[in-house]
Amino acid sequence: MFKSQEERRVFGVSCFIEIQYCKLPESTKLEKIISVKEVSHWENDSLYVSGDDMNLFYKQYKDIITGGVYNNGKSGAMDLCGINFYSRENADLIMNRIEKEKPQEYEILLRWLKSGTDYIGFYILGV
């Protein structure tokens, strides 16, 4: 996480996967949730995975973070080049799997997910 966008810029890497809370109202239709124009980027409370660590992240979490909905409405494996939306129910399942499997540095993601239980879900926004 970065406290500000300036801190992110100073970090010196511009390629990130952003893991972001979906802050839309609970009544929002899925079509709107996964719409490109509804998704903002570079939120200060997001988690960021450096592009340099993208392959390691995918290897560690590809079997844990599953069932996301893509921008085209289809669902499948994590897409590190697009929009992936995970509902609150899916996030709960993911948290349980993370706690059980304990991948490398899992505490950071698990703590972040637990902090977002008031939201309708989360996104993984690919590079």
Which tens digit of pLDDT belongs to each residue from 79-124?
Answer: 999 999 999 999 999 999 999 999 988 999 999 999 999 999 999 9
pLDDT in the model for residue 44: 85
Q: How far apart are CA 8 and CA 24, in angstroms?
A: 24
Q: How confident is the model at residue 43 (pLDDT cuts 50, 70, 90)?
A: confident
Tell me how far apart the terminal alpha carbons of the chain are, to the nearest angstrom. 17
| % of the chain at pLDDT higher than 70 | 89
pTM: 0.89
pLDDT in the model for residue 13: 57
DSSP H or E stretch at residue 69: strand 68-70
Name the β-bridge partners of 20.
123
